[in-house]
Structure 1
Amino acid sequence: MLKLCFFICLIYWVKSDEEKKCPEFTDLNIGNALSGTELRVQLLLYTTDNPDCSERLIEHNVTASEYLNTAKKTVFVIHGFRPTGSPPAWLGDMKELLLSSDDINLIIVDWNRGATTVNYLTAVENCRKVAEILKNYVDQMLVHGASLDSIHMIGVSLGAHVAGFVGQKYNGKLGRITGLDPAGPSFTHEPPEGRLDRTDAQFVDVIHSDTDALGFKKPLGTIDFYANGGTDQPGCPKTVFGGIQYFKCDHQRAVFLFLSSLKRKCDIITYPCNSYLDYKRGKCVDCNAFQPMSCPVLGYHADRWKKWLIANNSPTKAYFDTSDQDPFCMYNYLLDITTWNKSIRRGFIRVKITDYAGNTAESEMNSEASTFQQYKRVRILTGFYQDIEKISKISLTFSTKTLIGPKHKLRILQMTLKSLNNPERLQLCRYDFVLMENTELTFKPIPCSEKGT
């Protein structure tokens, strides 16, 4: 009898211990991908009351949740294709940063069983099935007091289209969808109802980072942000010798840029423009249409520009450059030059700035050559990885990048350097000087208002 009692107590203790275990994101492996997986979706809820231990939600029983508060904003995070079966590397940071930024219901949509396969088309087919499951749960939330206005879906790659399919089911009344480099393969030639579209939510913001491979190239949202033009990202491998990172680094960069916006170490400022080339030529740096607000910032807080973007009544493309590592911010300046040379010159200008403590920052050489003509103003967008607040010296180098032939010189009548990140700072000027090709010229600038003193 004593043994039986002990055995029953042991079973109860083991069962209770299992019940206390936190539900976790499904962890699979390459073997699962090779054999294929049947779709199975679990919704893992995190809140400020249970930030470290998720609660598995029951699809048809919202009231069974201990932590879900339908009066609060709800954010769904939806991953994409998982060819190796492992949990997304960014998932932990996404959870912690979202919970630290807002008092929300955070629901991680785990469809790893269904996304883990070597057959990409199988995962694509499962997208609509996942959307149907999410729609069923949102329906239950709405019955118990939730509002479509307060629902924000963040979709990565295939997950962006899943979010779009959910939004379609509510006729675009979801509050917001954020697409992080929405998948291109199998979706590029689909009509709006077959992919994410700007009509799928009240506000749709999209970050593009791999438009020449795994991502979607054309605009999909209310505003589409193109990082470094949307293709090759700084810091990512350029050849297959970079291993697996060569294939996924550019595609994943959209996620890490979004995460950077949650850390708030610096704002990534973007510039609405028709093309990346026009942006690089300094044609789109004023953002007058967004007054009294400044240029849109990337990421979680992009919806602050929602009113102006929706009023625009057409898709907005915004371009920006980044550094090669977190937090990815660039400190942009507009270099405005008027030249005297009678002969047309084509070339590049490298800029270096120095503060009074001797700290320096050097710009990247622009990929497009500028054309300098007599008495014509040329605007060049240039960026630095460091923020030099009080500039004591400016160094300029002119180059045509030609290896043969005579060296050229560029006579500059006026140069202006203006901070775009901090427009309240003084514009700096210099007048009437000559740049010899491939020879750095360093000088002390003066505030533009002091001309002639």
Structure 2
Amino acid sequence: KSYNFLEDLRDLSDVNKANVKFSLRNPSHPDEDVCYIVHGKPETLNSCSFKNTSKTFMVIHGWTVSGLFESWVEKLVAALYNREKDANVIVVDWLDMAQNHYVVAAHNTKMVGQEIGLFIDWLEETARIPLEKLHLIGYSLGAHVAGFAGNHATNKVGRITGLDPAGPDFEGVHAHGRLSPDDAHFVDVLHTFTRGSLGLSIGIKQPVGHVDIYPNGGSFQPGCNMRGALEKIASYGIFALNNAIRCEHERSVHLFIDSLLNEEEASRAYSCGSNDMFDRGMCLQCRKNRCNTVGYDVSKVRKARSIKMFTKTRGSMPFRVFHYQLKINFLGKINQLAMEPELTVSFYGTNGKAEDLKLNIQEKITPNKTHSFLVVTEKDIGDLLMLKFKLEESTSSLLSLLSSWWYRDSANSGIQVHKIRVRVGETQKKIVLCLKDPQTGSSSQDVVFVKCKEPWRYLSKR
């Protein structure tokens, strides 16, 4: 049973003690607080060279142990200025109220959000800024601060981006107690650490925006080695998790930074009912707004319900990968036993190749059924020309059992594959591949498929 500490901590802080500062960072010194805009002092707008017709970003940090800004803040500021040269990038400093026991800091988010909401009202009235050009970007607890700010402002702000909004004390609460789609004209969210390790999910699992994107299912981000950290708990205690947790939680920020710096290599996410379905490659459709760009250039799609989207990434910047769906119809006798072979696939395209990609088999392979798989490549291989399968770690008996899989020899009693249908997520191209040599000998472990002339056919429309 979840316990909401927020209701029991009303006496731990006082609205009159809210200490929130607004630092307008300089593009040439994104790491320095050299000029503060002070609520109620319009002269500070001029002294800080605030541009009232430009886009304005407010970067809102989360919980802190050190009481200092983390290194991602200046990187995000620099990336925002890199993309929007004439923008105003304001770093919201609520460090004094964030450097507390987590439960107290979480309780303070509403008060800080109210202060920011009042500041937004003053900014709109004094500087005459158009709120559709105001974009709040909040990380962890800061995402909920942004939500409270947007909710408290008299008029709606243009956009809020939640970067892995904090989960504890916010998961499952009513919309008015956390970031929600009502807090801005458009709310987009990246979820990168939603797994309940050790009974705790650092990031919120539920969708809380108009568009909620779950890179790598929202957990186990490539390059963070969370599994390795979990194994070290016995030797090093809970502190072994610190770096891995920070890596996964903070990945949301770096994905957003990536979208600012690498506009031409933007990651694409796909609408899907579940991560399991996505991992089967069943959701690489783009029609009817079923796909979207990850990060800054996301299309502002607003529907009655939150849109859950999924994507895969690399372990470092640029994070984009290329998604492929493979649909394979295994033909064979009805009494053929279900099998779990280990297969790798290699792609060969007009721009290069991607070899030895493991095929993630989510269920036992059964005859007379079409199975769908998701395969990703880190490089752009161009148009797919050829596909090669290879059996791995097969025993001789298993190899003999599987040797007929890929052949059209009707005299053979094994399972056969005649064609493989491929959908490329990033280009939406559809390709049908046929056996290059139907008479391939049974001693071969490599089976080659090449493009065939028959067009893609749907058995049914999804």
Q: TM-score range by the shorter chain?
A: 0.7 to 0.9
Asked if 1:380 corresponds to 2:373, the answer is yes
Match of residue 130 from structure 2: 147
In the TM superposition, what are the counterparts of 1:405-420 in structure 2 within 5 Å? 406-407=398-399, 408-409=401-402, 410=405, 411-420=416-425
**Secondary structure at the residue paired with 1:323?**
coil
Q: Which residue of 2 aligns with 1:14?
A: none
Cα distance in structure 2, aligned partners of 1:345 and 1:444: 23
Quote the offset at 1:355 in angstroms: 4.8
The C-alpha deviation readout for 1:303-329, integer Å capped at 9, x for no partner, is: xx21xx21x322100011111222121
Q: Which amino acid aligns with 1:297?
A: T
Following TM superposition, by how much is the alpha carbon of 1:249 offset from its aligned partner in structure 2, in angstroms?
Answer: 1.5
Query: Normalising by the residue count of structure 1, what TM-score does the alignment of the two structures yield?
Result: 0.80
1:353 is paired with a residue whose SS is: strand
Partner residue in 2 for 1:256: 254
* Paired residue secondary structure (1:235): coil
Which of 319, 323, 341 pairs up with 1:332? 323
List aligned pairs for 1:119-268, cutoff 5 A: 119-144=101-126, 145-170=128-153, 173-212=156-195, 213-237=201-225, 238=227, 239-240=229-230, 241=232, 244-264=242-262, 265-268=264-267
Aligned residues: 402
Larger displacement relative to structure 2 (440-449 or 229-238): 440-449
Q: CA RMSD in A?
A: 3.0
3-state SS, counterpart of residue 193 of structure 1: helix
**Does 2:276 match 1:277?**
yes
Cα 1:315–1:372, aligned 2, differ >3 Å: closer, same or farther? same
Q: Quick one: percent identity of the two aligned structures? A: 28
- Taking the aligned partners of 1:436 and 1:161, their CA distance within structure 2 comes to 62
| Matched ranges for 1:30-69 at <5 A | 40-46=19-25, 54-66=34-46, 67-69=49-51
* CA deviation after TM superposition for structure 1 residue 433, in Å: 5.3
8 Å CA contact 2:351–2:382 kept in 1: the answer is no
CA 352–81 in structure 1, closer or farther in 2 if over 3 Å, else same = same
1:139 CA drift (Å): 1.3
Q: Distance in 2 between matches of 1:439 and 1:79?
A: 57
Q: Which shifted more, 236-245 or 73-82?
A: 236-245
- Shift of the 355–286 alpha-carbon distance from structure 1 to 2, 3 Å rule, reads closer
Q: What is the SS of the residue equivalent to 1:332?
A: strand
Structure 2: where are the runs of 5+ without partners?
1-16, 196-200, 233-239, 406-415, 457-462
CA distance in 2, matches of 1:450, 1:284: 20
Q: CA deviation at 1:268?
A: 0.7
Tell me, in whole angstroms, the C-alpha distance in 2 between the residues paired with 1:189 and 1:449. 50
Are positions 1:298 and 2:294 aligned together? yes
Contact 2:431 2:455 in 1 (8 A): no
TM-score (norm 2): 0.79
* Greater shift in the superposed pair: 119-128 or 44-53: 44-53
* Alignment partner, residue 60 of structure 2: 78
Deviation string 1:377-409 (CA, Å, 9 cap, x unpaired) is 32212101122125554221357x898974542
Distance 2:170 2:245 in 1: 19
Cα distance between partner residues in 2 of 1:437 and 1:177: 58
